[in-house]
Structure 1
Amino acid sequence: MVFYNKVKWVLGILMVFILIIATNLIDRNNFSRVKDSVVAIYKDRLIAKDLIFKMSNSVQEKELAVVASDSVFFSNRNKKVSQDIQDFVKLFEQTNLTLQEKKIFSDYKNNLEILKSSETNFIQSKFADKTPLINHISSVKLNLNDLSKIQLDEGKRQMFLSEKAIDSVELFTKIEIYILIFLAILIQVIVIYKPKEN
């Protein structure tokens, strides 16, 4: 009988041990998903949103100079603003882009190149023909607007994934508590139960 009691105790402790390991692994996986989601929201969405904002400000500065036919801007400041935009583009490329984002961002870069040649034509025309340049600026602004919308949508998606992982953790915690209660009762029954001796 002593051996039988030892086996009961070992099985009871082993069941609790396996349950704790299993729930720990599940919880670790869910917390990892939450962490990845939070990092993605910051790195790939908030930083990207900030870069889009800065690019929009730079493009708006160009637009105001075109509308005002500001020759001083184009002879002095335009080169610096264009370089700033290129720096922001390089930083934006380092974020994790969705397929839709890649397509719009590619269009944006193409429109920036067209804008650059339009600026050259505008300067050569002695600031006379604004229409093509304004149209190209509008295309660039539209790309930036589309990229901005994607940041919000992706941010919401990441938040949904975080909430789903947290809900999962809460559910497994409740299940773990119920199973531990059940196992505690089961272990008590096994330990207290004494088979009839012949």
Structure 2
Amino acid sequence: MLVLASNLLDRKYFSTIQETVKSIYDDRIVVQDYIYQLQDMAHEKEIAFIKGENLEENKDIKVLLNDFSKTKLTRDEARLLKQLDHQFSGLEPLELAISTKTVSQAEKVKALDQLDRIHKTLDGLEKIQLEQGGVLTQLSEKNLRVNKMLSNLEIAFLTIIGVSILILVFYPVKVLETIR
């Protein structure tokens, strides 16, 4: 019974550890790459606005935002991601104006301000990634510590049971015979 109970608990803890490690990769490390790519794209847009050059389509940005939205998001991440999508969408009219060369200096300043807000939103998302990665790592470490403690308890109980059986085998208890 002890071994069965221990194995069931071990399975639960290892399942939790497996889920957190997978989540650290899928929902934190991969997303960190999305944030990096979005930062890079926003920076390229910023340079293009300053130079007054034609800008690339936002198709890649939409794909990244869509992939990002498919991961496990905290409430703050979901809010910031929605805000980021809205901020990138707000750039499209300004990009169109630049591509037709009908943009004023005020519109360039407005576009650069919008890009600054995008960078701040991406910084907020990056901060959340670090925090959540830490939370998941702590959860994994906690489960490993509990699993190690239970394994040590299991070994102690099995040792006590083994010693008890050896004592009973080599030093049997003499039962008093009842008088007839």
- TM-score normalized by the length of structure 1: 0.82
Question: Which runs of 5 or more structure 2 residues have no equivalent in the other structure?
Answer: none
Q: Tell me, in whole angstroms, the C-alpha distance in 2 between the residues paired with 1:153 and 1:147.
A: 10
Q: Which amino acid aligns with 2:104?
A: A
Per the normalisation by structure 2, the TM-score is 0.90
Query: Which position in structure 2 is the counterpart of 1:58?
Result: 41
Of 93, 96, 107, the match for 1:120: 96
1:194 to 164, 174, 178: 174
Structure 1 residue 19 and structure 2 residue 9: aligned? no
Deviation of residue 110 (structure 1)?
A: 1.2
Task: Give me the whole-angstrom Cα distance separating, in 1, the residues matched to 2:84 and 2:140.
Answer: 31
Aligned to 1:67: 50
Q: Offset of 1:188 from its aligned partner?
A: 3.5
Q: 1:131 aligns with which of 109, 118, 130?
A: 109
Q: Report SS of the residue matched to 1:126.
A: coil
Corresponding residue to 1:104 among 76, 80, 88: 80
The share of aligned pairs that are identical, in percent, is: 27
Unaligned runs of 5+ in 1: 1-17
| Letter aligned with residue 174 of structure 2 | K
Task: State the Cα distance separating 1:93 from its structure 2 match.
Answer: 1.1
Rounded to whole Å, the distance in 1 between the matches of 2:42 and 2:74 is: 24
Deviation at 1:187, TM superposition (A): 3.0
Return the offset for 1:182.
Answer: 1.5
Root-mean-square deviation (CA), in Å?
A: 1.6
CA contact (8 A) 1:34 1:162 kept: yes
Q: How many positions carry a matched residue from both structures? A: 174
Equivalent residue for 1:153, pick from 131, 137, 141:
131
Q: Which amino acid aligns with 1:196?
A: L
2:60 matches 1:84: yes
From the two aligned structures, give the one with the greater helix fraction: 1
> Which residue of structure 1 aligns with residue 143 of structure 2?
165
* Farther-moved stretch of structure 1 (40-49 vs 122-131): 122-131
* Alignment of 1:95 onto 2:78: no
